[in-house]
Amino acid sequence: MSDFFAHETAVIDAGANIGKGTKIWHFSHIMSNCKIGKGCNFGQNVVVSPNVILGDNVKVQNNVSIYTGVQCENDVFLGPSMVFTNVINPRSAVNRKNQYLKTIVKEGASIGANATIVCGNNIGKFAFIGAGAVVTKEIPDYALVVGNPSKQIGWMSEYGHRLEFDNQGIAICPENNDSYKLNNNKVSKLLK
């Protein structure tokens, strides 16, 4: 008996490494040689390609394909129908499997519904990618980005609240009172 749940319509290929407590729902396909952490959840119609690495507690909503070259750290949220790419210049008649670019989604980041992440552009810790955004460059930690192409419009707390910085560059999360410092266009969380 396995330590994870897979719906009877899910397909799990040999060699997939799936962590304890993970749930894989209807019509999802987990391919060989991927590594999935503990406590992850995969909605309906999700595909995880070979050699993908996902940390613990990654939430993948319906209709998401996670292609070879993608790595998600712990506590990442992938919204419904968001898209990763893995080749910068795909052509049907040209095999570019040896040219997959790596994309890392760092701890706690959220990617909204229908967003597109162009390969080779990493997403910073606790960054928040708005629904429908098209990411074409690196996204810093705690950044809030929207639009096509995506544009940074602010900063987010670890609890997903927009941060409002005072004239000393300090902001406080309204949900848990964590403090953040903005310095040289970078945000860091202050220790309590």
DSSP code per residue over 146-181: ETTTTEEEEEB-TTS-B----TTSEEE-TTT--EEE
Could you read off the pLDDT of 19-74 as tens digits, one per residue?
A: 999 999 999 999 999 999 999 999 999 999 999 999 999 999 999 999 999 999 99
Angstrom distance (rounded) from CA 117 to CA 178: 29
Spatial distance between the Cα atoms of 177 and 54, rounded to a whole number of angstroms: 29
- Predicted confidence (pLDDT) at residue 188 exceeds the cutoff of 90: yes
Q: What is the pLDDT averaged over residues 73-94?
A: 97
pLDDT bin (cut points 50, 70, 90) of residue 78 is very high
Asked whether the predicted pLDDT for residue 1 surpasses 60, the reply is: no
What is the spatial distance between Cα 22 and Cα 43, in angstroms, rounded to a whole number? 11
Task: For residue 168, name the pLDDT band (cuts at 50, 70, 90).
Answer: very high
Q: Give this prediction's pTM.
A: 0.97
| Mean confidence (pLDDT) of the chain | 97
Percent of the chain residues past pLDDT 70, beyond the cut = 99
Within its chain, how far is the Cα of 83 from the centroid?
10
Task: Give the three-state DSSP class for 97.
Answer: helix
